Amino acid sequence: MKKIAILGSTGSIGVNALKVIQNNPEKYEVTALAAGRNIDLLLKQIEGFRPVAVSVLDEDLCSELKSRLGDNKGPEVFYGNEGFVRLATLDQIDTVISAMTGAAGLLPTYEAIKAGKDIALANKETMVMAGHLIMTAVKKNGVSLVPIDSEHSAVLQSLQGHKKEDLRRVILTASGGPFRDVSMEQMTTITPAQALNHPNWHMGPKISIDSATMMNKGLETIEAKWLFDLEMAQIGILIHPQSVVHSMVEYKDGSIIAQLGIPDMMIPISYALSFPHHLKNDFSTLKLEEIGVLNFEKPDLKKFPCLELAFRAAEIGSSMPAVLNAANEIAVESFLDGKIAFLDIPELIEKSMEAHQPHPVETIEMVMEADRWARKTALGLLKN
């Protein structure tokens, strides 16, 4: 029986993870839940899963949650970064599902690893910002880190039973988002509502915008570098609108092993929790005869410059990926708030990167300092 803490329980990954857990009560038990601002949903989750501890974003939300829980014996309630870290390192848990959005997931995930917890990772920003530190900590503490992202789950599955030295390259697939066939002229008038409307996946706001700009695939490329110990030259990207082939691994002899499936995040979540086993489920199966045609094409880097910016940050290395990530978070938030246009997102990121002098990041504190610098710089550029 795995005792699980979910960081980001009210987001799309967290909600789906709870469905997987609910469908396998003999295998998994929810011990702790960390949420942001969605107190209403968190209360329902507390009622349904009876965790021993929960955490929310800030002190006001903590007070509200305690008040609504009343005098009935319920979970301990914490808040803020300290609360998230406390949940991730509880003695009662052995597995942490890291599904918080953005850079906020880095510190609790890192502390969980140091505390000897196994990680099911959906927070790609953790690997983008501090991949070398994370993987070093994983090895040092003898824990497992299994990806939840459908692309990295597909790579992991395609690597099973094969020798690492036989690998030639990894091919990550991308749907192309909602604007794959939109002209550059049309992209000048894109609204947040249009960008949030992904054709294949139901995701949170931040990752939906990242998918629309294709920054999501850039971040996933950096994540794959660290997860699978690859050079950037060993990672390719193909646009695949059907989202059926979730990623592929090519070997030295030309063989390509791919993982296919319906686009449902419960499948890679289930695999991350049960690795290396595949649990039975009641989902509809993939019917290739009904799909008929699977298309693949190279991404347009001129149309989606966020991809090229991510590649550049990865090649520079050091503190630059953390700066890329932080500037992107500010840009996405500003776009969703109506402060900048869709095509301003890569411009703000690029200007933030150009203003940065890369430096080695040898501790998590140094990573967080680069993150703070980038946020301050991006906000300053917005004002100007």
* pLDDT score, position 198: 77
Distance CA 282, CA 23 (A): 10
* pLDDT score, position 201: 66
Q: Order across the sheet with 95-98: list the strands.
A: 76-79, 53-56, 28-34, 2-7, 95-98, 118-121, 145-147
* pLDDT score, position 368: 96
Mean pLDDT of the chain: 95
* pLDDT score, position 272: 98
The DSSP code sequence of 173-242 is EE--GGGTT--HHHHTT--HHHHT--SS----HHHHHHHHHTHHHHHHHHHHHHHTT--GGGEEEEE-TT
Q: What domain range includes position 107?
A: 2-147
* pLDDT score, position 199: 73
The CATH number covering residue 56 comes to 3.40.50.720
Number of domains in the chain: 1
* pLDDT score, position 197: 85
Q: Residue 120 falls within a domain, yes or no? A: yes
Mean pLDDT of 72-100: 94
Mean pLDDT of 223-247: 96
% of residues, the chain, pLDDT over 90? 91
Instruction: Give the pLDDT confidence of 184-222 residue by residue, as tens digits.
Output: 889 999 999 999 987 766 778 898 999 999 999 999 999
Give the three-state DSSP class for 260. strand
Q: Residue 265 falls within a domain, yes or no? A: no
Is pLDDT at 68 greater than 90 in this prediction?
yes
Instruction: Give the pLDDT confidence of 237-291 residue by residue, as tens digits.
Output: 999 999 999 999 999 999 999 999 999 999 999 999 999 999 998 888 999 999 9
Round to the nearest angstrom and report the end-to-end CA distance of the chain: 54
* pLDDT score, position 70: 86
Q: Residue 257 falls within a domain, yes or no? A: no
Give the three-state DSSP class for 245. strand
* pLDDT score, position 71: 75
Mean pLDDT of 215-234: 97
* pLDDT score, position 203: 74
Instruction: Give the pLDDT confidence of 6-25 residue by residue, as tens digits.
Output: 999 999 999 999 999 999 99
Q: Residue 115 falls within a domain, yes or no? A: yes
Is pLDDT at 358 greater than 70 in this prediction?
yes
More confident residue, 201 or 340: 340
% of residues, the chain, pLDDT over 70? 99
Peptide bond preceding 276 in cis form (omega within 30 of 0): yes
SS3 content of the chain, % helix, strand, coil (to 5): 50, 15, 35
Q: Residue 383 falls within a domain, yes or no? A: no
Q: Where are the beta strands (DSSP E) in the chain?
A: 2-7, 28-34, 53-56, 76-79, 95-98, 118-121, 145-147, 167-174, 235-239, 245-251, 256-260
Mean pLDDT of 145-158: 97
